[in-house]
Structure 1
Amino acid sequence: MSMTTPPGWYADQGVPGTERWWDGNAWTAHTRPLGGTAPVAGPYQQPYRQPPTVPPGPAGGRGGGRARGLAVAGVGVLVAAAIVVGVTLLGDDGTTTVPRSAPTTTTGEPAPGPTAGTGESPTAEPSADPDVLVDQLNGITLPIPDDWEKSDSLVDRAVTMTTVADRECPGETNRYCRYGRVMSATATQTDADSPEALAKEDIQDASDALYDEDTIGNTPYGNVTSHTVVKSEAVSVTGRTGYLVRWKVTTGKGQGGYVQSLAFPSAIGAGSLVVVRFAFDAGPEGPPVSGMDTITKGIRTIGDSTGGVGSSIGPS
């Protein structure tokens, strides 16, 4: 009887000099230098705390990506490519480049990890509950609302979900934008020493990345022209004190949207800060803004059946 390799950092054979996080069932997008103490710079990530024992690594695994410099972090991997008639690409901003009907082939995904002691690939177990998005590295789950779905692409080394529905981007032809996007990742390259400081620092970058100019200079919403602070308050997330900042952004094209940066200590390890970015398009077809609060309240530690609190713990 074989035993599945436990979660941990293992050498990535597809990218020499790199280790990739194996979550016990599949490779994730999280990478770091081989033998290093910090993951490769992804969005919002703070210095990595070395986990306990790291067993001998599984063979195999690939990685790839492209980087974009942000004030908080360099943009990490965007694992999706489509080649036949054209290219379909889910970007930082949740947009999709057409032709939409072109057949797609996913590339750059990590290869399956082996089963310990056999050299064989393990049989992947069901990817958990379809109603929750799992951020394995930070030990949390986020509820997936009705008419939303997990993204097949890993954006900025973040776990991501989007609305199922999309439409042609208001500022670009032949590009399609999702009405709602949420992504969770560990924070890095920031001097913020508290959830409040991080949320207030990250909101501008979130607004730029989700509604302004994308990584290749496209402006699917015609740039952000102004913003209004809708909410700025402390909240409790998974029993820990966090902080959120929410903006209503006005864009050059379309009806704009709502952007939120939610920061709180990770549920595992030494409590590195986590940022969850939200982008909900405004207008009748966009998700209700109250959905941001619903998702926040539903954030849980992995295995916790009670869930996070997500309620205000102080004056706005």
Structure 2
Amino acid sequence: MSSTPPPGWYRDPSYPLTERWWDGAAWTDHRRQPEVPVPPMVPSRPPDGGGSRRAKAVALITAGAVLVAAIVVGALVLGREGGGAAQAKSTPPVVSSTTTSSPATSSASEDSRVVVDDLNGITFPVLQGWARPQNIAEKDVVLTTPGTYDCPGDAGFCRHGRVISRTATADAGTTPEALAKGDITDAANAEYDRDTIGNRPFGGITSHRSVKSGPVAVAGRVGYFVRWRVTTAKGPGGYVQSLAFPSGVGSGAPVLVRFAFDAGPDGPPLADMDRITEGIRPVGDAATGGGVGSSIGTGR
């Protein structure tokens, strides 16, 4: 269960001088410029023995207030993104989660070409058409397609592609194949059937079919993946993949990576699932060869 703040305008954590719309589940690309307070007018005083000195002091204070207001307005203009409205205002919402899964603590690497999942000790390649997650409530998200669009079902904002990395909770001896096969239904439902607050952004899943599955080497370890094509009541549907493999850090707990790509011309290329899988590397091993991420099975 998750507790999220209600939809509304909040201070943008990336640009504190602007406001950004929180849709109840994630930050959107909608921003606006808050009103800039106007400095109060100072009543004039009749000239007297010390009046000229007081008038000069008042003039300096008023000029300083106007200068500060001008700087704030300038910062708001510079904070615009791609012609969108400016951002900023009240404190950003805090999202608390009581989920039993271990969230992946994703952080941006100094290398702009990868995103680091510190908890699971792996990196993900940032392919063309993809970006690091920004202003997203879910901690497990490691890659998204830029921008959002209005969901075709219940009101909300959707993304054309997402990649999620998390530590799996499984009994000792559970194989990557069993993990992937057991996770694919939950992965499909979470992305295309019903979201965390009970809405149906795509009207729900009406059917699915298995597209491909099989063993694969990920970060030098043997894993397994299952890929489905899901059909939804509204919109073009999409592709969902569950990928499981042993972690190379800590206790060696297995890692589950979920892929969700919208189908249709606006969705990312399906081949990006394979490219991202092939590009997963252990942390600190930026150029590992020898079959890391390459297929070790024909799949089906």
Superposition TM-score tier, normalisation by shorter sequence: 0.5 to 0.7
Q: What fraction of aligned residue pairs are identical, expressed as a percent?
A: 50
Higher helix share: 2
Q: Is the 8 A contact 2:141 2:162 kept in 1?
A: no
| Deviant stretches of 4+, over 6 Å | none
- For 2:142, the aligned partner's letter is T
Q: Is the 8 A contact 1:135 1:159 kept in 2?
A: no
Which residue of the other structure, out of 119, 130, 145, is the alignment partner of 2:112?
Answer: 130
Deviation at 1:153?
4.1
Verify: 1:286 aligned to 2:267, yes or no.
yes
Aligned length: 223
SS at match of 1:270: coil
> Relative to 1, partners in 2 of residues 1:134 and 1:126: Cα closer, same or farther, differing over 3 Å?
closer
Verify: 1:183 aligned to 2:183, yes or no.
no
Q: Is the 8 A contact 1:222 1:253 kept in 2?
A: yes
Verify: 1:83 aligned to 2:65, yes or no.
no
For residues 267-282 of structure 1, what are the structure 2 equivalents within 5 Å? 267-282=248-263
Q: Is the 8 A contact 1:235 1:312 kept in 2?
A: yes
> Relative to 1, partners in 2 of residues 1:310 and 1:146: Cα closer, same or farther, differing over 3 Å?
same
For residues 20-59 of structure 1, what are the structure 2 equivalents within 5 Å? none
- Aligned position for 2:147: 165
> Relative to 1, partners in 2 of residues 1:219 and 1:238: Cα closer, same or farther, differing over 3 Å?
same
Deviation at 1:255?
0.4
Write the distance in 1 (CA, Å) between the matches of 2:295 and 2:137: 29
- Aligned position for 2:201: 220
- Aligned position for 1:100: 30
TM-score, scaled to structure 1:
0.63
Computing the radius of gyration from Cα coordinates, the structure with the larger value is 2
Write the distance in 2 (CA, Å) between the matches of 1:273 and 1:166: 31
Deviation at 1:90?
7.4
Instruction: Provide Cα deviations, 1:264-293, integer angstroms capped at 9, x if missing partner.
Output: 011212311001110000001110000000
Write the distance in 1 (CA, Å) between the matches of 2:204 and 2:93: 30
- Aligned position for 1:263: 244
Write the distance in 2 (CA, Å) between the matches of 1:266 and 1:312: 18
- For 1:139, the aligned partner's letter is G
Which residue of the other structure, out of 268, 281, 294, is the alignment partner of 1:311?
Answer: 294
Deviation at 1:185?
1.1
Deviation at 1:167?
1.7
- Aligned position for 2:67: none
Write the distance in 2 (CA, Å) between the matches of 1:183 and 1:152: 14
For residues 104-123 of structure 1, what are the structure 2 equivalents within 5 Å? 105-108=91-94
- Aligned position for 1:207: 188
Deviation at 1:165?
3.2
Instruction: Provide Cα deviations, 1:119-169, integer angstroms capped at 9, x if missing partner.
Output: xxxxxx985222211100111000011122111246544142210033211
Write the distance in 2 (CA, Å) between the matches of 1:212 and 1:313: 32
SS at match of 1:141: strand
- Aligned position for 1:254: 235
Instruction: Provide Cα deviations, 1:9-38, integer angstroms capped at 9, x if missing partner.
Output: xxxxxxxxxxxxxxxxxxxxxxxxxxxxxx
- Aligned position for 1:196: 177
Write the distance in 2 (CA, Å) between the matches of 1:280 and 1:101: 26
